[in-house]
């Protein structure tokens, strides 16, 4: 399953499915990655990931990589919906998708450059410290949830679906931001708990200065995967380009991590433990 990052998911995570036969056809094709431009496939309206004003963290990381390669950035914009890869990467209009799940089978992926997951968000004033939906304190809470994302299964396991206010996953991101709407409704008291893809929650809490607290949702035995390592995606034929990207990720991981933290993205370390931001001087 090819996953490119959109609203939690899967936008996430995820949209942009491509027929496997199309992907296989690329394996024997010669590399078509540009050696004079850093050509990025991106969503024009999907903060904090990317937007046409180039304000997202994927835009900033693309700028970094282009600088390291001494190349200008060229953006090809297309909403992360079905057909995203077909109309961008596999149409040879661009060469890299800046965010995709590591190991996705429709593209070749680089080494991951960050690790994050779904979070549970509550009002800071409520002083809720548990992140386990099996805790009895959540039995009567109103839950905001992006429909069809992995936390849906956790909610169902604990018989809490009757308490859910759903928010659409697939929307026109030029006019709707379901994760932000969910968080604003939580602040307003329309719900008590929000289950959101971490980068969206962290960004809006920080950017909008929302009085909310988030914590990573714990995995449950036999339950859905809730954390993901995120990499960059390229065409299978672009082996040398992928190696170049891997080298840049390895050399500049600290700088990449600093960009992510600046956008409020909650991160996990290699062991799956929350990564604490460095103390401010």
Q: Is residue 281 part of a domain?
A: no
How far is 238 from 32, CA to CA, in rounded Å? Answer: 7
- pLDDT at 16 > cutoff 50: no
Q: Is residue 273 part of a domain?
A: no
- Go through 241-267 and write b for each residue having 16 or more CB atoms within 10 A of its CB, e for each that does not: bbebbbebbeebeeebbebbbebbbbb
CA dihedral 50, 53, 55, 60 (to 10 degrees): 80
Q: Are residues 107 and 132 in the same domain?
A: no
Kindly give the residue spans of alpha helices, DSSP state H, lying in the chain.
10-13, 20-25, 57-69, 84-87, 151-157, 178-187, 198-207, 239-251, 253-262
Q: Is residue 102 part of a domain?
A: yes
- pLDDT at 23 > cutoff 50: no
Q: Is residue 5 part of a domain?
A: no
- Percent of the chain at pLDDT > 70 equals 88
Q: Are residues 53 and 134 in the same domain?
A: no
Q: Are residues 100 and 28 in the same domain?
A: yes
Q: Are residues 246 and 110 in the same domain?
A: yes
Q: Is residue 192 part of a domain?
A: yes
Q: How far is CA 8 from CA 13, 117, 147, 226, in A?
A: 5, 9, 10, 11
3-class secondary structure, 72: coil
Query: What's the average model confidence in pLDDT over 171-193?
Result: 92
Q: Is residue 269 part of a domain?
A: no
Which contacts (CB < 8 Å, 24+ apart) does range 70-77 have?
71/34, 71/36, 71/37, 71/38, 72/37, 72/38, 73/37, 73/38, 73/40, 74/34, 74/37, 74/38, 74/39, 74/40, 75/40, 75/42, 76/39, 76/40, 76/41, 76/42, 77/42, 77/43, 77/44, 77/52
Give the chain's domain count: 2
Q: Are residues 21 and 109 in the same domain?
A: yes
Confidence class of residue 46 from pLDDT cuts 50, 70 and 90?
very high
How far is 114 from 270, CA to CA, in rounded Å? Answer: 10
Q: Are residues 237 and 254 in the same domain?
A: yes
Q: Are residues 203 and 247 in the same domain?
A: no
- pLDDT at 6 > cutoff 90: no
Which residues span the domain enclosing 173?
117-216
Q: Are residues 51 and 188 in the same domain?
A: no
Q: Is residue 169 part of a domain?
A: yes
pLDDT tens across 126-168, in order?
A: 999 999 999 999 999 999 999 999 999 999 999 999 999 999 9
Among the ranges given (73-87, 138-152, 177-191), the one the predictor scored with the smallest mean pLDDT: 73-87
- pLDDT at 25 > cutoff 50: no
How far is 226 from 117, CA to CA, in rounded Å? Answer: 5
pLDDT tens across 81-120, in order?
A: 888 999 999 999 999 999 999 998 889 999 999 999 999 9
Q: Are residues 107 and 237 in the same domain?
A: yes
Q: Say which CATH number the domain at 238 has.
A: 3.40.190.10
- Percent of the chain at pLDDT > 90 equals 79
146: part of which helix (H) or strand (E)? strand 143-146
Q: What is the pLDDT of residue 82?
A: 83
Query: What's the average model confidence in pLDDT over 201-222?
Result: 96
Query: What's the average model confidence in pLDDT over 178-192?
Result: 97
Residue owning tokens 């039995």 = 139
Q: Are residues 36 and 131 in the same domain?
A: no
CB-CB neighbours of 128 under 10 Å? 19
Contacts of 87 (CB under 8 A, 6+ apart): 78, 93
Total-model pTM: 0.88
Q: Are residues 15 and 110 in the same domain?
A: yes
Q: Are residues 134 and 39 in the same domain?
A: no
How far is 51 from 173, CA to CA, in rounded Å? Answer: 10
Q: Is residue 165 part of a domain?
A: yes
């Amino acid at each position: 399953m090819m996953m490119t990052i959109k609203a939690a998911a899967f936008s996430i995570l995820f949209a942009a499915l491509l027929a496997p036969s199309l992907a296989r056809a690329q394996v024997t094709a010669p590399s078509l990655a540009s050696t004079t431009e850093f050509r990025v496939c991106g969503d024009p309206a999907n903060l904090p990931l990317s937007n046409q004003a180039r304000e997202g963290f994927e835009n900033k990381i693309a700028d970094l990589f282009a600088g390291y390669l001494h190349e200008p950035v060229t953006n090809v914009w297309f909403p992360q919906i079905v057909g995203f890869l077909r109309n961008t990467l596999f149409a040879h209009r661009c060469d890299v998708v800046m965010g995709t799940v590591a190991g996705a089978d429709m593209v070749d992926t680089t080494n991951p450059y960050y690790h994050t997951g779904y979070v549970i968000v509550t009002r800071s004033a409520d002083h809720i410290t548990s992140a386990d939906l099996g805790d009895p304190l959540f039995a009567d809470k109103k839950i905001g949830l992006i429909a069809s994302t992995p936390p849906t299964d956790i909610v169902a396991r604990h018989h809490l679906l009757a308490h859910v206010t759903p928010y659409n996953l697939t929307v026109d991101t030029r006019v709707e931001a379901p994760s932000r709407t969910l968080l604003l409704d939580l602040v307003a008291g329309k719900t008590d708990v929000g289950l959101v893809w971490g980068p969206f929650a962290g960004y809006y809490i920080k950017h909008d200065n929302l009085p909310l607290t988030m914590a990573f949702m714990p995995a449950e035995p036999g339950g859905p995967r809730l954390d993901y390592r995120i990499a960059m995606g390229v065409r299978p034929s672009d082996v040398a380009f992928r190696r170049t990207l891997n080298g840049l990720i390895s050399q500049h991981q600290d700088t990449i991590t600093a960009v992510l933290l600046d956008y409020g993205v909650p991160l996990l370390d290699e062991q799956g433990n929350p990564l604490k931001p460095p103390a401010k001087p």
